[in-house]
Amino acid sequence: MLKQKLSLESVIQLEEAEAIAKLAQTLNQETSQIKLVESNGEEVLIPESVRSMLRDIVKKIASGQPIYLIPHNHELTTQEAADILNVSRPFLIKLLDEEEIPYIKIGKHRRIRFQDLMKYKEKRDEKRGKALDELIQMSQEAGFYE
């Protein structure tokens, strides 16, 4: 029988994955109160609003999704906005030119407010969901779904 040696990096990744899974389990326990313990032993209770946010963050990290912590009024570069939408920068520029997303100009550079980008993303996702529902409905009517 062959024994496979785990590299230090693999061991660290495994330990990290286990810690994330344990944290997710803890955050999902509605009955327990979460506390942050400072180095001096002082305990700080974590409010439910923060716990909910942490739950979402840990869930995304566990599934390998990227996490962005951006202040609501932050202005993004076109590249940052394109990265968040997971589109190319030229495609984002096209959206700006077509006035799909509001922007401001600072000198020659365009800046997109984070909240405006999120409004566009929500509308886009809603349209995609409706289109998918229509496609499913048409497939069902054609007898492709059972």
Task: Give the domains, in start order, of the chain with CATH numbers.
Answer: 8-62 (3.90.1280), 75-141 (1.10.1660)
**What tens digit of pLDDT does each residue of 5-42 get?**
667 777 777 888 888 888 888 888 777 788 889 999 99
What pLDDT does 59 receive? Answer: 86
Instruction: Report d(CA 72, CA 118) in Å as an integer.
Output: 10
Spell out a b/e string for 11-27, using b for 16 or more CB atoms within 10 Å of the CB, else e: eeeeeeeeeeeebeeeb
Q: Which residue positions in the chain have pLDDT lower than 50? A: 1-3
**What phi-psi label fits residue 4: left (phi over 0), alpha (psi between -120 and 50 degrees) or beta?**
beta
The answer to pTM > 0.75 is no
Measured distance between the N- and C-terminal CA atoms of the chain, rounded to whole angstroms:
47
What pLDDT does 71 receive? Answer: 80
Both tokens of 20, joined, read 């994330």
What pLDDT does 5 receive? Answer: 61
Question: How many beta carbons lie within 10 A of that of residue 83, not counting itself?
Answer: 16
What pLDDT does 7 receive? Answer: 75
What pLDDT does 146 receive? Answer: 61
